[in-house]
Structure 1
C-alpha cells in the first residue's frame, strides 16, 4: 500500500467515524446536552493527555504551551478556537439528541462553502465563478428550507459557522493534532469542571448517578473525540487537499442516511429539493477544485 493509499484510508476512517457519531450520541439521549458537552471536554482532555504521555510527547506539549504563551496573538486565537469548537460540539450533541440529525447533516454539507467565504473575507482569497455559483446554489437550498418551515435552519448554520470560524482561527496556528486537542480542551476544562460541580451541587448530574452504561459511554466520548482527529491528521499529511475535499463528504452523507432511514426523521419533497440544491453546489465546487488541481499538476510536470 502506497503512502497516498494509506492517507486515503486514514481520511476515510476519520470521516466515517464522524458520520456515525449520531448513533453514539443517541445512546446518551437521556442525558442533558450541556452535561454531555462538559463530559466530552473533560474526558477528551484526560485521554488525549494520557496518549501524549504514552507516545513520549510531553516535552513537545510543554514547548507548545511555552510558544503560545510567548505569542499572545496565537494564544488568544487558540482560546477563541476552543470556544467556537465548544459551540460546535454542543450544537451537534443537542441536534442529534433532539432528533435534528438531518439538520446536522446539512450543516456539515455547507461547511466547506462557508469556509470558502471566510477565506475570501479574512485571507483575501479569490472566488472562482464555479465557487460563486456553488455558494448561490447552497444559499438557495437554505432559503427553501427557511421559506418552507417559516424559520431559518439555525442548527445547520450554527454548525457550519462555528466550525468555519474555528478553521479560520486555527489556520495560522501550527500545532500537532493530538497535542492541539489537549491544549484546546485544557483552555475550556475549568468551565467544564465548574459546570459539573454545579450539577453535582444541584443533584441533577447523570454521571455516576444513573447506571454503569451511561458512565462508560460518557468516558468513551473523550476517546471517540480524539481517535478520528488523529486519523484525520495522519490522512491530511499523506494526500492532496482536493482528495481530502472529496472524502470529507463521507461524514454528512452517512449522517444523512442515518437521519432518513434509521431515525425516520421527516423528509419531504421540499427537503429533497433543498438538499438537491446543496448537493449540486458541492458537485460544482468539488469538480472545479479537481480541475484546478489537475491544471496545477500539469503545469508542474510540463
Structure 2
C-alpha cells in the first residue's frame, strides 16, 4: 500500500471515529456530561503518557514544559478543547446531536474567516461567497426556529480558535495533546474528587459504566493520531473534503438512530450551509489542482 493510500485510510478512520463518537457518549449517558469530560481528561493523560513513552517523545515533552510561553498557549488551547468537549458531550446526552453536527459543518468556513481576521489571509471570491451564504444559513436558522443555535456556534468557535492557535504552535500532535490534558488534569481530578465527596460520583456503581469510561482516553487520542498520520500524506484539499464525513455521520445518527426533531425549517438551514460548503470545496479543489501542461 503506497503512502497516499495509507494516509487516506488513516484519515477516513479518524473521521469515522469522530462521526460515530455520539454512540459512545450515549452509552455512558447516565453519567453527567461534566464527569464524562473529567474522566476523558484523566484517562487521556494515562493513554497519552504511554504513547509518549512508546514513541520516545519524552525529551520533546520536557522541552514544552520548560517553555513558559508555549505552556501559556497550550493552556488556552486546553481550555478551548475542554469546553468544546463539555458542550459536545452535553449536546449528545440531551438529544442535541443535530445542532452539534451543524457546528462542525460551519467550522471550516469559520476557520477561513478567522484566518482572514487574525492571520491576514486573503479570501478568494468563492470563499467570501461561501462565508456569506453560511451566515445566511445561520440567520435563517435563527429566524425560522426562533432560537440562536448556541451549541453549533459554540462548537464552531471553540474548535476554530483551537485550530488557529495550534496552527501557530510548533508542537507535535501527541505531545501537544498530552501537555494540554496534563494542564487541565488538576481541574478534572479535583472535580471528580469533589463529586466523590458529595456522593454524586458515578463511579463504582455500575461495572458496565466503569469499564466504558476509561475508553474515553483511547477515543480522544486515537483519531487525533490517525488524523496527524493522514494529514502528513494527503493534499490539503483531500483532508478538507474528508472532514465533512464526521458531521455527516453525526447528522445521520441524529436523524435515523436518535430520532431527533427535524422539520422543514431546520432542513432549509442545513441545505443553505451545505451549499456554502459545496462552494468552499469546489474552490479548494480548483486551487489545489496542478496547472495543466501546455
TM-score range (shorter-chain normalised) is: over 0.9
Q: Does 2:226 correspond to 1:220? A: no
Equivalent position to 1:124, from 105, 120, 123: 120
Structure 2's unaligned 5+ residue stretches are: none
Q: CA deviation at 1:60?
A: 2.5
Distance 1:169 1:216 in 2: 34
Partner of 2:190: 194
Structure 2 residue matching 1:238: 3-state secondary structure? coil
Give the deviation of 1:148 after TM superposition: 1.9
Q: How does 1:155-174 map to 2 (within 5 A)?
A: 155-174=151-170
Alignment partner, residue 84 of structure 1: 80
**TM-align CA RMSD:** 1.2
Counterpart secondary structure, 1:20: helix
Question: Where do residues 1-302 of structure 1 align in structure 2 (5 Å cutoff)?
Answer: 1-66=1-66, 68-69=67-68, 72=69, 74-208=70-204, 210-294=205-289, 297-298=290-291
Q: Runs (4+) of structure 1 moved beyond 6 Å?
A: none
Q: Give how far 1:63 is off.
A: 2.5
How far is 1:65 from its partner?
Answer: 2.3
Alpha-carbon shift at residue 39 of structure 1 (Å): 0.7
Structure 1 unaligned spans of 5+: none
Residue-by-residue CA offset, 1:145-194 (whole Å, 9 max, x unaligned) = 11122110000000000000111111111211111111010111111111
Q: Tell me if the contact between 2:64 and 2:71 (Cα under 8 Å) persists in the aligned partners.
A: no
Aligned length: 294
Classify the secondary structure of the residue corresponding to 1:298: coil
| 1:59 positional shift | 2.5
The two structures have a TM-score, normalised by structure 2, of 0.97
Give the distance between the partners of 2:238 and 2:288, measured in 1 at CA. Answer: 10
TM-score calculated relative to the size of structure 1? 0.95
2:232 aligned counterpart, secondary structure: helix
SS at match of 2:208: helix
> Shift of residue 239 of structure 1?
0.5
